[in-house]
A and B are shown apart, each in its own frame.
Chain A
Amino acid sequence: MTTAAAILVDGVIYAAWLFVISVGLSLIYGVMRILNVAHGSLYALGAYTAASLVIAWFGAGGAPWVSYLLLLLAALAVGLVLGPLVERGVLRWAYGRDEVVLLLVTYSVFLILEDLTKLVWGVDPYYASQPYALLGRVAVAGLAYSVYDFAVVGCALLVGGGLWAVFNRTRAGRLVLAVIHDREVSLAMGINVPRVYVAAFAAGAALAALGGAITAPMISVVPGISVEIIVLAFAVVVIGGLGSLGGAALGALIVGLVRAAAVHTLPQAELFIIYAVMALVLALRPHGLFGRVELRRI
């Protein structure tokens, strides 16, 4: 019973974290049909920016609780600055080309941002662990957990709920949905599609950076974190179905629970279990659990 409870709690915590880091990838694909490899770099930039702000804040003796706002600020700063910059400066020149070309373009952006990160922050680690320890710990199912872990679950619920509300309850969200369904008809109906693209990419970038920012207090921020995350995020969105908000949530939950079950009961399987699940889902549903079959227009 304790093991089952631990699997559930660990699985949900990991799933929440996974959802935050991968939902932006799904959003960008849904709106723009771009598989954004640079998502990993934006995650890393979010982590580095957040770590720098938190370190500077605590160095200056600032109020500890403000550090949580700094994590949010870091995500917004990266998303709102780099998102439009990458979309207007690079991606828009490749619109209309094959998806593989766009994939390669985002890969080149990934490499550029990787070097940029190394240029700015170097290769030494950054520690911003204060927000992780600040909230204390709580016992669940006989095990001690950091309260911050549950704050990440709350953050994931807010992000998921917020995105759902934007898409289903606001005019701007419905415009985005229109572009997702048919870009050409949306253009014909007078929707400013380039603006939707900029907004969607900036939002996706901010979500990637938010993933990095909330992760920064849990890790030492070092070079290479971007590569690990992009593979994981791809697995999650592919399981759920590319471009689907609900798919990203379900994919994250499946991966989180399956991984936690492996860690607690069969640790040797942890390495491949996520990809085994991905392979199984793709074998049964090639477009993912929530993916739609695309009709080729000729």
Chain B
Amino acid sequence: MRRPRMLGRLRDVVAALAVAGAAVGAVQVAGVGDAAAQARPARVSIGIVTFLSGGAAGPFGVPARNGAEILVEALNEGKVPAPYAEKGLGGVPIETVFVDEAGGATRQVTELRNLVQRQQVDLVIGYISSGDCLAVAPVAEELKKLLVLFDCGTPRIFEDRAYKYVFRTAGHAVLDSVGAARYVLARKPGLRTIAGINQNYAWGQDSWNDFRAAMLALKPDVKEASVQFPKLFAGQYGAEISALLGANPEVVHSSFWGGDMEALILQGAPRGLFDKTQVLLTPGETVLARLGRRLPDGIMVGARGPHGPFAPDNELNRWLIAAYQDRYNTPPTYPVYHMAQAILGVKAAWEKAMKAAGGRWPTTDQVVAALERLTFESPSGPISMSLGNGHQAAEPVAYGVTKFDQASGRSRVVDVVRYDAACVNPPEGVKSLDWITSGFKGAKCP
């Protein structure tokens, strides 16, 4: 009895190996064919990963998804202004596959593999969390699939290693902190004390460290009055507000976002935090329309680049504002602009690659080559992929001060100052913190 069963198993194993071998062969043949022929497909599939649930969904993830939907629909209908008037990507309609970014880095690695290997998307645009970006970038490289990071802030992505298939079409977080330090000192040249309240994880710590270093590089006699690092999503900041009020700093820096930023405003305003000290919210633009009259006047806010109220008055921006406002009855915030940059950057590179290939459908490697060091138009103005060996965008940044506008029922920004990309980004090949501590060597500021 034993022998036949073993034989049977052996047969099964041989059969399985044969099937597997045939499958591998088929894949190899398909791969060869893919590289050689590149027939124009019926559609291009883009995996889009953004927070659709959890605390980051409301302020970032869902606006980014909404922006992607509007833009892809308009691109497919050929309704986006020049230079993006051609339908889809090189005339081929775009289809999107949305994935929720919630669940942590390990889950996102699995989801990226699913998108590429099961759903067979042509490229992936995504990721708001820096932790997710750091986790998925090596996986995209391994899979040799184009990955465009659209929003995450950590400069470590391209400063710690080089990638071929990974790009980021938005500026990294250093420009927020350097721009903020320059803006604060421009308005308060005699500043002596600063304080910070930032979330106790990579984003909050990096933001504070960069801001503090930039401030010390620009004005070495500035002292820290209080440095608060509450837990992410803590929600209750009574003790922290007391500590800040007690320390009495001239400026309080915060990179809080979403519900945490809103809770800080809602709890700090009745206690006079915003009357007593100058508060700076680096991603504060996201609450201008949402909080309305609840947002005190006089807060310094940024938008992680020249986005929203800081965006230039160009045709693409006018179109984006009108389309977004029309559908969602609120103006687009910076995650929408970041998403638009990613999609339009891909479109610009794709069509450049097609043109270079004589009108034939480009391979991933051809698109990658076209996107490297590309400068393309966006609603936020021209974006140059000039850092990270041509894989990282260098954006300008702008800051302003909130002022409630009775007519619109929303806060707007006044006293806006814009800093060029060469003023708030390190030169190519220089690590951000080294650049800041060197006293911004090579920075080109007006």
Binding site for B on A (CB under 8 A): 2-3, 6-7, 9-11, 13-14, 17, 118, 123-125, 127, 129, 132-133, 136-137, 142-146, 148-149, 215, 217-220, 222-225, 227-228, 259-260, 263-264, 267-268, 270-271
Residue on B nearest A147 in the bound complex, by CB: B270
Q: Are A223 and B262 CB-contacts (below 8 A) given A137-B271, A264-B242? A: no
Is B58 engaged at the interface, CB distance under 8 Å to the other chain? Answer: yes
Given A133-B269, A219-B266, A267-B227, CB of A10 within 8 Å of CB of B242: yes
The 4 closest A-B pairs by CB, nearest first: A220-B262, A10-B239, A224-B55, A263-B239
Cβ-defined contact, A123 with B53, below 8 A: yes
Q: Are A6 and B246 in contact (CB under 8 A)?
A: yes
Q: Is the CB of A220 within 8 A of B263?
A: yes
A263 cross-chain contacts in B, Cβ below 8 A: 228, 230, 239-240, 242-243
Q: Which residues on A sit within 8 Å (CB–CB) of B236?
A: 14, 17, 215, 218-219
Question: In the complex, are the beta carbons of A223 and B291 less than 8 A apart?
Answer: no
In the complex formed, the residue of B with least CB distance to A152 is B238
Contacts of A149 in B (CB 8 A): 238
Q: How far is A144 from B271 in the complex, measured between Cα atoms in Å?
A: 5
- Cβ–Cβ < 8 Å partners of A267 in chain B: 226-229, 240, 243
> Contacts of A132 on B, CB cut-off 8 Å?
266-267, 270
Cβ contacts under 8 Å, B138 to chain A: none
State which of A143, A217, A268 has its C-beta within 8 Å of the C-beta of B246.
A143
Residues of B contacting A264 in the complex (Cβ-Cβ under 8 angstroms): 239, 242-243, 246
Q: Is B233 an interface residue (CB 8 A)?
A: yes
Chain B contacts for A270, CB-based, 8 A: 200, 228-231
Query: Across the interface, do B53 and A222 meet the contact criterion of CB distance under 8 Å?
Result: no
**What's the dominant secondary structure at chain A's contact region?**
helix
Q: Residue A145 contacts which of B233, B269, B271 (CB distance < 8 angstroms)?
A: B271
Q: A2-B246, A224-B55, A271-B200 are in contact. List 18 more A-B contacts (CB 8 A).
A: A6-B239, A6-B242, A124-B62, A125-B59, A127-B291, A132-B267, A137-B272, A143-B242, A143-B271, A215-B235, A220-B259, A224-B259, A225-B235, A227-B233, A228-B233, A263-B239, A264-B239, A271-B230
Give every chain A residue within 8 A of B62 (Cβ-Cβ). 123-124
Kindly state the separation between the CA atoms of A2 and B227 in the bound complex, as whole angstroms: 18
Chain A residues whose CB sits within 8 angstroms of the CB of B269 once the complex forms: 133
Given contacts A123-B57, A129-B294, A224-B55, contact A271 B231 (CB under 8 A): yes
Q: Report yes or no: A218 in contact with B263, Cβ–Cβ below 8 A.
A: yes
Complex Cα distance, B33 from A244, in Å, reads: 70
- CA–CA, A228 and B199, complex, Å: 14
Tally of chain B residues near chain A (CB < 8 A): 40
Which residues of chain A have C-beta atoms less than 8 A from B227's C-beta?
267
List of B residues within 8 angstroms of A146 by Cβ? 267, 270-271
State A34–B2 Cα separation when bound (angstroms). 53
Given A14-B238, A218-B236: A225 touches B259 (CB 8 Å cut-off): yes
- In the bound complex, what is the Cα–Cα distance between A227 and B259 (angstroms)? 14
Inter-chain contact B239/A219, CB cutoff 8 Å = no
With A3-B246, A267-B227: A220-B266 Cβ-Cβ less than 8 Å: yes
- Chain B nearest CB from A222 CB (Å) reads 4
Name 7 interchain pairs, CB-CB below 8 A, sorted by A: A2-B246, A11-B239, A14-B239, A143-B271, A220-B259, A263-B239, A271-B230
Cβ-closest chain A residue relative to B275:
A144
Separation of A52 and B165 alpha carbons in the complex (Å): 46
Q: Does B234 contact A (CB under 8 A)?
A: yes
Within the complex, the shortest CB–CB distance from B436 to chain A, in Å, comes to: 22
Residues of B near any A CB (own CB < 8 A): 52-55, 57-59, 61-62, 200, 226-231, 233-236, 238-240, 242-243, 245-246, 258-259, 262-263, 266-267, 269-272, 290-291, 294
Give, as a whole number of angstroms, the nearest-CB distance from A122 to chain B: 8
Q: How far is the CA of A147 from the CA of B301 in the complex (A)?
A: 29
B238-A222 in contact (CB<8A) = no
B57 to chain A, nearest CB (A): 4
Name the contact of B58 in the complex, choosing from A9, A125, A133, A227 (C-beta under 8 A).
Answer: A125
Known A219-B259, A219-B262; contact A144-B229, beta-carbon cutoff 8 A: no
A118 to chain B, nearest CB (A): 7
In the assembly, what is the distance between CA of A127 and CA of B258, in Å? 13
Select from chain B the residue with minimum beta-carbon distance to A265. B243
Closest residue of chain B to A215, judged by CB?
B235
Q: In the complex the two chains form, is B270's CB within 8 Å of A137's CB?
A: yes
Q: How far is the CA of A214 from the CA of B435 in the complex (A)?
A: 47
Which residues from A are CB-within-8-Å of B53? 118, 123, 223-224
A222 engages B242 (CB within 8 Å): no
For A271, the chain B residues whose CB sits under 8 A away are 200, 229-231
Partner of A268 from B58, B229, B272, B291 at Cβ < 8 Å: B229
Note all chain A residues with C-beta closer than 8 A to B55. Answer: 222-225
Q: Say yes or no: A123-B52 contact (C-beta < 8 A), given A129-B294, A132-B270.
A: yes
B239 touches A259 (CB 8 A): yes
Pick the contact of B245: A118, A144, A259 (CB < 8 A). Answer: A144
Least Cβ–Cβ distance between A255 and chain B, in angstroms: 12
Query: Given the interface contacts A10-B238, A14-B236, A146-B271, does A219 sit within 8 Å of B263 by beta carbon?
Result: yes
Q: Which residue on B lies nearest to A259, using beta carbons?
A: B239
Give the Cβ gap from B247 to chain A, nearest Cβ, in Å.
10
The smallest beta-carbon distance between B303 and chain A, in angstroms, is: 18
Q: Which residues of B contact A220 (CB under 8 A)?
A: 258-259, 262-263, 266
Shortest CB-to-CB span from B64 to chain A, Å, is 12
Residues of A with C-beta under 8 A to B61: 123
A218 B267 Cβ-Cβ under 8 A = yes
Q: Which of B62, B239, B240, B294 has the largest number of chain A CB atoms within 10 A? A: B239
CB within 8 A of A143: which of B245, B290, B291? B245
